[in-house]
Amino acid sequence: DQGSDFASNTFTAPVTGRYFLSAVLSITSIDTASASYQAKIITSNRTYTFYFGTDQFAADLTGGIPFSIPILADMDVNDTAYVTVLQVSGTAQSDLLNGRAFFSGYLAL
């Protein structure tokens, strides 16, 4: 963070341009009773969503499943970006693996 543009878990664009943003997350205790998991990069202009369905598994997963979202986002000066993760329905609690959640970005154009 060269210009103190990342604070309170939110990135604020210092200049107008296209930004390469990437989120890499690992979720553990995947609940197969859930409809899906959604990892999102939310910017001031658009929401980018990665969906992960659980119907492909016969039983809950205890290991980590990686999510990766690479995007190229148009951002104006002072636009913001942040990451969210949502478990849609289900009964078991899932968690982000400690030390395995990353958000990065740079001005590309």
Residue 9's pLDDT is 84
Burial annotation 59-77 (CB, 10 A radius, 16+ → b, else e): eebeebbebebebebebee
Backbone region of residue 58 per phi and psi (left: phi > 0; alpha: psi in -120 to 50; beta: other values): alpha
Q: Give the pLDDT confidence score for residue 13 in this predicted structure.
A: 93
Burial class (CB in 10 A: 0-12, 13-18, 19+), 83: buried
Question: Mind listing the pLDDT tens digit of every residue in the chain (109 residues)?
Answer: 677 788 888 999 999 999 999 988 877 777 776 767 788 999 999 999 887 766 666 666 666 677 788 999 999 999 999 998 877 776 667 666 666 778 888 899 7
Based on C-alpha coordinates, what's the Rg of the chain? 15
Which of 81, 88, 89 shows the shortest CA–CA distance to 38? 88
Alpha carbon dihedral 9, 40, 99, 29, in 10-degree steps, equals 140
In total, the chain counts a number of residues equal to 109
